[in-house]
Amino acid sequence: MFDLSRQPTSEQVSAMIVRGLDHLGYDTSLFSGISARRGGLSTAIEKGVPEHVPWMQSGHAQDPAARRYVKLGSPVHFFKT
């Protein structure tokens, strides 16, 4: 059961995602919260969400250490500068 009176921690959200994927039949043995952050940030940026928005929502600063989470799949973004 979920406690909707409190905001979930990042660990709880990661656990919910893994449980949900496991429930759908996916192999989650190599999936983690880092996988969710990396996929979420990368997907949002590739879909044109202004870059500061996903960074603010994820609680990460836009510093070089946090940028390791972003793995863009489309070369189009490399030519936008």
| Per-residue pLDDT tens over the stretch 10-63 | 778 778 888 888 899 999 888 777 766 667 777 777 788 887 787 777 666 666
Closest of 36, 32, 38 to residue 70, by C-alpha:
38
> So what's the pLDDT on residue 25?
93
Given pLDDT bands bounded at 50, 70 and 90, which one contains residue 66?
low
To the nearest 10 degrees (0 to 180), the angle between helices 33-46 and 10-23 is 90
How far apart (Å, rounded) are the C-alpha atoms in residues 31 and 54?
Answer: 20
Q: What's the predicted TM-score (pTM) here?
A: 0.49
Q: Is the pLDDT of residue 81 over 90?
A: no
Closest of 36, 40, 68, 72 to residue 53, by C-alpha:
40
> So what's the pLDDT on residue 24?
93
